[in-house]
Amino acid sequence: MSVELHRAFGCYGVIAIDGQLLVMKKSGGPYQNRYDLPGGSLDGPEPLDKTVLREVREETGLTCRIDRQLGAVSFVYPWAYKRWNLNQHLCVFYSLTAAAGGLLSDPVQFQGQDSLGALLMPPDSLTLANSSPLVLWAACFLTTGTADLTSRTFQEWPVLERPVWQ
């Protein structure tokens, strides 16, 4: 079988509140039915920093400020999507601080919205079975204080049929 590669690119916020990681309930894509980080794709020629702030606001209800860009990481895994069978997810991570707003348990739905609500989770409760690789990266960053910029390849990536939060 030939390899048909799909590339996705996005900017993601790492937000800790009272020692817990802010995650969202993902409704689509390879991370559907898992916890994922708030963030996503650029809207036109939008700057990276504006992208992460906009996406976090849309998906979580929080207005944040950027503490710093943490770096970029690539996650590669098999994923049957349209004509592709391999996905490379390029992620730019930002450390953010919540400045205003409250967590949305039911965000406004629109074309492209893939958040079913935001919640706080203890980093040690997040696993490969219930979270995206982005969440695991962020949980590691929160517990170690180190931004590991090593790309990661997964030999398998099961897309979950049922939400982990039910």
Which pLDDT band, with edges at 50, 70 and 90, does 71 fall under?
Answer: very high
pTM: 0.94
Q: Is residue 13 part of a domain?
A: yes
Q: What is the pLDDT of residues 106-165, one digit of tens each?
A: 766 667 778 889 999 999 999 999 999 999 999 999 999 999 999 999 999 999 999 999
Q: Is residue 166 part of a domain?
A: no
Q: Is residue 107 part of a domain?
A: yes
Range of the domain at 111: 5-150
Cβ atoms 71, 46 nearer than 8 A:
no
CATH of residue 19's domain is 3.90.79.10
Q: Is residue 160 part of a domain?
A: no
3-class SS of residue 54: helix
Nearest-angstrom CA–CA distance, 35 and 54: 19
Q: Check residue 110 and give its pLDDT.
A: 67
Q: Is residue 93 part of a domain?
A: yes
What does DSSP assign to residue 159? P
Q: Is residue 35 part of a domain?
A: yes
What does DSSP assign to residue 12? E
Number of separate domains in the chain: 1
Q: What is the pLDDT of residues 2-34, one digit of tens each?
A: 889 999 999 999 999 999 999 999 999 999 999
Q: What is the pLDDT of residues 41-60, one digit of tens each?
A: 999 999 999 999 999 999 99
3-class SS of residue 32: coil
Q: Is residue 164 part of a domain?
A: no
Q: In whole angstroms, how large is the CA radius of gyration of the chain?
A: 15
Q: Is residue 88 part of a domain?
A: yes
